[in-house]
């Protein structure tokens, strides 16, 4: 998709791909034939620059046609660089400006709590994204309101745009911060579906919001992209694309 579009964020797409696949194929109660069913689970991808991974997952799950992926970021395509809920079935919130997905998810979770609804709300943020102050205001409200229907998954790949998160504005101690905000916290291997499923099983029967710190590798699965800050955004050459597809087992 990124090769055809000549733009995109391959590093962040590949670090979150296993998280999205685990959610859509192992956790979320969603129906691609009725994407706005009132009792559906809601997933908000706050790191909207990973739209490519989200669209690919939505296509695989049957929300949008696989052929539509060829229109990614082309003029007039519904598949913008940042997801838009008005154009793409299955997208729950317009994201891209970092720091808004968790606050929106908290609002949706409060609505569910007031309505005594069964649906669950999931948000995925980046780790660099947590430098945005709006997240902490939302985290505090979620803890205060005991939003047991809310799960935050942090894509903890230790890189942001242009540098390590720890070099720019360190977010550690991350687990202790969320515990102090009255969240339940669990750590997982975010590139391993079995590890993620174990962590997400803690959703059942809890009384507080759940934070999953998902340790990932940015650019996961493509050797020359893995943990490389330069692949936050970028377009592979034809030879690099061939190598990537080979390594991902999709050639």
Ligand X SMILES: Cc1ncc(C[n+]2csc(CCOP(=O)(O)OP(=O)(O)O)c2C)c(N)n1
Q: What is the chain's length?
A: 251
Task: Return the H-helix or E-strand segment holding 212.
Answer: strand 210-215
At residue 9, the 3 state secondary structure works out as coil
- At 109, which helix (H) or strand (E)? helix 101-115
Which of 156, 208 has the CB closer to ligand X?
A: 156
In the complex, what is the shortest distance from the CB of residue 161 to ligand X, in angstroms, rounded to a whole number?
4
Supply the minimum distance, in Å, between the C-beta of residue 68 and ligand X: 23
Nearest residue to ligand X on Cβ basis: 126
Of 73 and 130, CB closest to Mg ion = 130
Sign of the dihedral through C-alpha 24, 30, 32, 35 = negative
Q: How far is CA 141 from CA 122, 133, 158, 182, in A?
A: 16, 13, 26, 10
83 binds, among ligand X, Mg ion, none (CB under 5 to 8 A by kind): none
**Cβ count near 152 (within 10 Å):** 29
Pick 97 or 173: Cβ nearer ligand X: 97
> Which residue's CB is nearer to Mg ion, number 170 or number 246?
170
- Sites of contact with ligand X (CB under 6 A): 11-12, 15, 47, 49, 96-99, 126-129, 155, 157, 159-161, 218, 232
Residues 59, 65 contacting (CB under 8 angstroms): yes
**For the window 90-129, what string marks contact with Mg ion as x by the rule CB under 5 A?**
------------------------------------xxx-
The residues binding Mg ion (CB under 5 A) are 126-128, 157, 159
């Amino acid at each position: 998709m990124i090769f055809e579009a000549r733009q995109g964020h391959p590093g962040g797409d590949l670090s979150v791909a296993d998280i999205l696949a685990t959610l859509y194929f192992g956790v979320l109660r969603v129906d691609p034939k009725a994407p706005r069913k009132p009792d559906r689970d809601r997933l908000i991808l706050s790191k909207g620059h990973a739209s490519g991974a989200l669209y690919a997952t939505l296509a695989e799950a049957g929300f949008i046609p696989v052929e539509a992926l060829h229109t990614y970021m082309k003029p007039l395509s519904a598949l913008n660089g940042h997801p838009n809920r008005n154009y793409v079935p299955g997208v729950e919130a317009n994201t891209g400006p970092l720091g808004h997905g968790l606050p929106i998810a908290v609002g949706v979770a409060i609505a569910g709590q007031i309505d005594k609804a069964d649906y669950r709300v999931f948000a995925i943020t980046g780790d660099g994204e947590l430098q945005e102050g709006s997240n902490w205001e939302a985290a505090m409200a979620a803890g205060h309101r005991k939003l047991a229907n809310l799960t935050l998954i942090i894509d903890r790949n230790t890189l942001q745009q242009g540098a390590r998160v720890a070099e720019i504005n360190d977010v550690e101690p991350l687990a202790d911060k969320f515990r102090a905000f009255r969240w339940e916290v669990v750590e997982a291997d975010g590139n391993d579906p079995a590890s993620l499923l174990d962590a997400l099983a803690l959703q059942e029967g809890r009384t507080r919001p759940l934070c999953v710190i998902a340790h990932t590798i940015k650019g996961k699965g493509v050797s020359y992209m893995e943990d490389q800050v330069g692949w936050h955004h970028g377009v592979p050459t034809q030879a690099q694309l061939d190598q990537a597809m080979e390594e991902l087992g999709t050639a």
